[in-house]
């Protein structure tokens, strides 16, 4: 999303962070699996529809779920 938005700096920062936290994220991702992918689809649909408010709310909820 960051790359598609044309924000190369933010995309690079996110990639660096991803490399550092992957060890933690992988087990959590396996646990949340199907629900996480459903959340990704919802965020993507909101972006495609141009619904910034919904995409923002969904992404905040998604990242919040990752911490629990």
DSSP state, 19? Answer: H
Q: Which two tokens stand for residue 54?
A: 């919904």
Residue 26 lies in a domain: yes
Residue 27 lies in a domain: yes
Residue 55 lies in a domain: yes
Residue 20 lies in a domain: yes
Rounded to whole angstroms, the Cα distance separating 2 from 12 reads 9
Closest to 1 measured CA to CA, from 36, 46, 38, 37: 46
pLDDT on residue 34: 84
For the segment 12-62, what is each residue's pLDDT rounded down to a tens digit? 999 998 888 877 777 777 777 888 889 999 999 999 999 999 999 999 998
Rounded to whole angstroms, the Cα distance separating 66 from 25 reads 8
Residue 61 lies in a domain: yes
pLDDT on residue 22: 78
* Range(s) of the domain holding residue 37: 8-66
pLDDT on residue 57: 97
Residue 1 lies in a domain: no
pLDDT on residue 58: 96
Q: How many domains does the chain have?
A: 1
Rounded to whole angstroms, the Cα distance separating 66 from 57 reads 15
Please give the model's pTM, rounded to 2 decimal places. 0.63
């Amino acid at each position: 999303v960051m790359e598609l938005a044309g924000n190369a700096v933010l995309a690079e920062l996110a990639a660096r962070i991803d490399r550092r936290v992957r060890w933690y994220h992988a087990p959590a991702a396996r646990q949340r699996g199907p629900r996480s992918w459903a959340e990704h689809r919802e965020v993507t649909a909101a972006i495609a529809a141009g619904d910034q408010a919904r995409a923002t709310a969904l992404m905040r909820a998604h990242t919040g779920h990752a911490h629990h």
